[in-house]
Homo-oligomer: A and B are copies of this chain.
Amino acid sequence: MTRIGIFGWGNLGKAVADNLLNFPDMQLKVIFSRRPQVVAAQAPKGIAVASVSDMEKWTDKIDVLLLCSGSATDLPEQTPAAVKLFNVVDSFDTHANIPTHFAAVDKAAKESSHLGLISAGWDPGLFSLSRALFNAFLPNGVDYTFWGKGVSQGHSDAIRRVAGVKRGVQYTVPRDTAIERVRSGEQPALSTREKHLRECFVVAENGADCAKIEAEIKNMPNYFSDYDTVVHFISEEEFEHDHKQMPHGGFVLRSGNNTEEYKSLLELNIKLDSNPHFTSGVLLAYARAVKRLFDNGARGCITVFDVPPSALFVGTPDDMRKHLL
């Protein structure tokens, strides 16, 4: 049994708790929160809820702590701090800041003789693994990553900051025409606008100027101005009925040449009803691996690139060779 702790009781932390049923060798022991009283009312039966300030008392009671907070401000602080006490897994997903985050976690983990795995999930995570394998096997080629159709939290937040918007959600939509061009073997250079469409569903405040809202969204720099954006105004009922889920997905493609004459096209694509629920499964599989690698002596910070697939799977190496190879 691998004993698990969760830090953070948002969408991802709750999804980890839901998904544990599918990981029979893992057991949730404790949820750490900055609001333990609130969380205690929602936590699964029999699971301890503890304040973040009491984390030190749990060092010999869990094997791996899953950090389920946000990448913007929480994880850069929390992961290096937590790895001083526990082996940890996080889903840090600010791609540009991964080297800095890695260095901070590596230093803290080595000082305390723990193992920390950062940036697990699907991108970074499963998509990164696909990019790495595709690049290793087909070195002469071009990578393409498309995201969606799925909810982008950052863009949804941006919509909701526009005056007159009561509720709003933004879907990132990959363009079929762009994906088909890549699949044709063409190796096109694709602009931002050609790759993704942004589709917004907005509930306006009573009496708000919808034309003004639409223009403000479409012209918002960084978020929307480089894209073709569609804004739909809908009723609160429709929003409540159709836009409360967090589906996501995407595509990783590599189009390349083995020789001048012979091309290969490699594609991973995923379709998720619930982004946090799938992500939680990746985190749990890497928690299993972290326990195994730690028991074998690994220390410091690692990523998905450092983990052999055999460490992720519940069965034995014999099982894997027999049934999955």
Contact = CB atoms under 8 A, between A and B. Distances in A.
Given A265-B271, A313-B136, A99 B321 contact: yes
A306 B18 CA distance: 30
Interface in A245-267: 258-259, 261-267
A312 B258 contact: no
Interface string A129-163: 11111011111100000000000000000000000
A325 interface: yes
A270 interface: yes
A8 interface: no
B271 A325 contact: no
Contact of A135 (B99, B133, B140, B313): B313
A264 B258 contact: no
Question: Number of copies of this chain in the oligomer?
Answer: 2
* Residue among A15, A183, A262, A271 facing the most chain B CB atoms (10 A cut-off): A262
B277 A262 contact: yes
A263 B272 CA distance: 6
A102 interface: yes
Interface in A56-110: 95, 98-99, 102
Nearest 7 pairs between A and B by C-beta? A258-B277, A136-B312, A262-B274, A262-B273, A136-B285, A305-B310, A265-B271
